[in-house]
Structure 1
Amino acid sequence: MSRNDTDRPPTLGDLAKAAGVSKGTASNVFNRPDIVRAEVRERVLEVARSINYAGPDPKGRLLGTGRVNAIGVATTEPLAYFFDDPFARILMKGIAEACDAEGLGVSLISASDEADLAWNMHSALVDGFVLFCLTGAQKLIAQSRERRLPFVALDFGDAGDTLSAISIDNIAASRRLARHLLDLGHRRFAVLAMDFDNEGVGRATMAQVEAAIYTTSRDRVIGTFRELEAAGIDTAGVPIFETTGEDATVGAALEEIFATGPAPTALIAQSDRIALLALDWLTARGIAVPGDVSLVGFDGVPEGEASDPPLTTMRQPIAELGRRAVRAIVERPTEIWRETLDTELVVRGSTAPPPPS
């Protein structure tokens, strides 16, 4: 053998030759062992061990069947996000439940770099994609289309009617959340927002909001401000702070909000994660919730119910989003469809009427 022959992994053909059987028989030992005589099967397996043959390449089998029996969940967030973020954990639970029910596996696909994302999505052995479009939606959509596999986006964004998506009405839900605070009597507000783009954090203008590439953050501000304006609030005086949902950026926003008076009596956080970080910051500085300032979140994660005080939030059906996305890939892979799921205002102990002036 040449050097190249000795360095390469042994193939099915090498195994068949070494065991003195046909390639078909060698293949059946691994794929259909019940039709191979026991003595032949044992001889082939013994030879396979002796030449370090690990078994048929799964990609070869896929070319024959056309199916992988796995769903890819793709995001431009770091891979750790699937495990660290409470929203992502519940979403993955719903996806996993639906995959279990269908006998499917799950492949996690993550990369923020465009070239890495393209490679990861093109090399993924999956039958379709669930696109976790928190950020980077257009990159995910473009790569999914190149693969020509069915995919479902977990956000409508600005894609029109050109793709299948399942989401909630972020504008309407944010209006209801703002209406709850208005009904309690609040007139001074501040918004702790999620990312609008990749440019940075800190105080944001409405022009930045309207130009946001991350539509969930944009729509939640739009819904909030529409309801405040309908109540006669001058939203030009309502500060918006972009955060990454991390402790440092939330803390920096609150430092600025409470350093310049008059302080808001209501804080609107665009996620429960941001709200819970804000609650920790306020508590550490002796700012009572809801005695000094009311606080609301968005998502309805279990951590919000367990906080002190329990968090008022807009609950969305996170796990159901995941379950329906998987079922759609399995049951109607060639259709383009849209679905909007309902949200629910959950009033708990973090909101109350504003303190006396």
Structure 2
Amino acid sequence: MNRREALKSLAALGLGTAAGRAAAASGTAASSRPVRITLPSAGSAGSVWRPLIDQNHFDQGLDLHWVTADPGSMQVQLTAGSLDVGVFGAVGLATLASKGSDIVLFGPALNNHGRWLVKANSPYRTPRDLIGKAIASTAETSETWQQALIAAHLDGLDLHKDFKVIHGSPTANLALFQRGDVEAIVTLEPTASRLVGQGAREIARVADIWKHATGERNSPPLVGLAASRRWLDANRDTAQRIVTMFVEVNRFVHQHPQSLTQIATQIGLKSDETAAAALLPQRLADAYATTWDAETFATIDRQIDTAASIGILARKPDRKIYTQLS
């Protein structure tokens, strides 16, 4: 090979010219750029992600920077760029989209894992038995409550009119339930397993209410991976690798549900809560979503349509709040 041919070969590889070297350096920098991703709080189902990703090297070579975030500030963080990837539910995001937000869902995260619980000696067997009684749940703007409201509506119950609802923080709700100030609590995992481990009785799952009312086979999404459209447009390859990472870690939970018991203390259970830890594999594995397809999108659309019909949303967003990367 003569010198001219060698230079052509190097140029074809992006190495023989200053421009080629700059492009290669740019590609390396892009692939190693930190991804600021939401760090779910201990005591939430999402808190399993970081330990399982770290232990099993599901990070796809990404430089993950876990950032503490909460639903109330996540929109600001994503819009401002202090957070690249968060999680959002369909109803909450549809509310923001109607106000001009450019945040979009782009991959699976968690299925709905809301539970209705009563005391062990309670006479109530179904949510319908609790009509007229006091129940506790999270804030009215939380996805947990809004999706419980939607599922119940489709099944013929109006949670606003049929129950005396006390909205509060998970800690406050837990205290109300344990004191007997409310007859039931609507909460998420792993708090639900913690209560069952202490003797509480589960009478319904929000996902099952949804499936019974709609005829759908799969649990509806609670939250999906979310980012601003601006960030997605500039980082589509990185975003796809993040989707792959979450599908892999969530699928791992399905295949190895016992791993949840092994990291129970890392996700908020105390070391002596062995009964609750033992329940996690059978109760929590279904919460981890692995699909992001037309069926998922149809469910999201149905959630938004129902939310609009019962007044949770003032109006439906003008655009789809989700996208398919590939």
Same structural fold, with TM-score higher than 0.5 when normalized by the shorter chain: no
Q: Which has the higher contact order (CA 8 A, sep 6+)?
A: 2
- Higher Cα radius of gyration: 1
> What TM-score comes out, normalization by structure 2 length?
0.42
